[in-house]
Structure 1
């Protein structure tokens, strides 16, 4: 998610993102994956993670560490790809459609594994990021995230009070959003039956509080 935000110069409004997916189907859960470094003073990422956990998202974190890249910029290194892939396969029996916000070529193999099980796989990303051609070719559909910016961008929400989402009966919809400093991924799951809850050791569910400010 963060790589897409940087490439497009936007800030995702996660409350509006949740409403967008609720409008398309019955929302069972939204899962956000991120590497998280040990707390050192004020950390915007940790504030975001805490907000998500209290506003309808499940959050999965993995240990991460800071490093300085070749341009002298501070980066966060950690990997949540394995966790996302394992959780996606666990959800597969209860899913019909996965939408992955992804860019890494490793997810092409996951997409193939899901397709073998009869699942439809879409990729939601941007051509302005380093999205792997292999992943685009494997997916059943590529969705340019820029076409959804009126629903997702925080700048758009400043002049729009938003829409109340009404989910149609019968569909389930799950959104998984992992991230690291070099790539960002996500998955959405739809089906006409209940999606299994992930183990507590893998994810935690926060209470929903729509009255809270969605800004990190």
Structure 2
């Protein structure tokens, strides 16, 4: 990972995408270690975390994580999910945060040197290109080591630097009491 000490860094995390990528690699993220990693690499400016929330649930399983991130140095960007009926009559839930993330990147890009985007979503290829047109560096964090790869090829190729999340596993993976990386909480039945 190439981040120079003089570079001002902002981190943008597509929460649902990072969760799915870590799950595909069978580990949980230690967000405190993730934040420390980038705070020690350059001049850290801000870390954003994006996620949609199901509002009508009595208890949201993601709420404790959101609260922890909010109290521990992350700027939280959330919005309620929307329910709709698809063309086949099935109930669907939608909670896309791409526009919010894109707008926030473009608002801060002139104040930083390096954007680190935790997402493999190919919709962000044009965002990466726009950041580069501003003369800034963009790194994409996702993985090609899962089957199928979690990063869109066009996004990976557009990035100035691609960082495979699997290569960060030993640094930002949650550890158990013995210091071993905790596997993701996946139903293995």
TM-score between both structures, scaled by the size of structure 2: 0.74
**Alpha-carbon distance change, 126 to 17 in structure 1, aligned in 2, over 3 angstroms:** same
State yes or no: 1:135 paired with 2:155.
yes
Per-residue deviation, 1:28: 2.3
**Alpha-carbon distance change, 118 to 77 in structure 1, aligned in 2, over 3 angstroms:** same
State yes or no: 1:24 paired with 2:44.
no
Q: Is the 8 A contact 2:54 2:60 kept in 1?
A: no
**Alpha-carbon distance change, 22 to 46 in structure 1, aligned in 2, over 3 angstroms:** same
Equivalent residue number for residue 134 of structure 2:
117
For residues 75 and 47 of structure 1, the distance between their equivalents in structure 2, rounded to whole angstroms, comes to: 24
Equivalent residue number for residue 81 of structure 2:
64
Equivalent residue number for residue 126 of structure 1:
143
Q: Relative contact order: is structure 1 or structure 2 higher (C-alpha 8 Å, sep ≥ 6)?
A: 1
State yes or no: 1:82 paired with 2:99.
yes
- Count of residues paired in the alignment: 154
Query: What SS class does the counterpart of residue 40 from structure 2 fall into?
Result: helix
Equivalent residue number for residue 176 of structure 1:
none
Q: Is the 8 A contact 2:156 2:162 kept in 1?
A: yes
**Alpha-carbon distance change, 75 to 150 in structure 1, aligned in 2, over 3 angstroms:** farther
Query: What SS class does the counterpart of residue 30 from structure 1 fall into?
Result: strand
**Alpha-carbon distance change, 137 to 36 in structure 1, aligned in 2, over 3 angstroms:** same
C-alpha deviations, 1:131-189, integer Å up to 9, x for none? Answer: 1111011111111111111111102x6445xxxxxxxxxxxxxxxxxxxxxxxxxxxxx
For residues 107 and 38 of structure 2, the distance between their equivalents in structure 1, rounded to whole angstroms, comes to: 21
Q: Is the 8 A contact 1:49 1:59 kept in 2?
A: yes
Q: Structure 1, unaligned stretches of length 5 or more? A: 68-73, 161-216
For residues 158 and 31 of structure 1, the distance between their equivalents in structure 2, rounded to whole angstroms, comes to: 29
**Alpha-carbon distance change, 75 to 152 in structure 1, aligned in 2, over 3 angstroms:** farther
Q: Structure 2, unaligned stretches of length 5 or more? A: 1-17, 85-90, 180-189
Equivalent residue number for residue 171 of structure 2:
151
State yes or no: 1:14 paired with 2:31.
yes
Per-residue deviation, 1:43: 1.9
Query: What SS class does the counterpart of residue 44 from structure 1 fall into?
Result: coil
**Alpha-carbon distance change, 16 to 66 in structure 1, aligned in 2, over 3 angstroms:** farther
TM-score between both structures, scaled by the size of structure 1: 0.66
For residues 65 and 39 of structure 2, the distance between their equivalents in structure 1, rounded to whole angstroms, comes to: 21
Query: What SS class does the counterpart of residue 61 from structure 1 fall into?
Result: strand
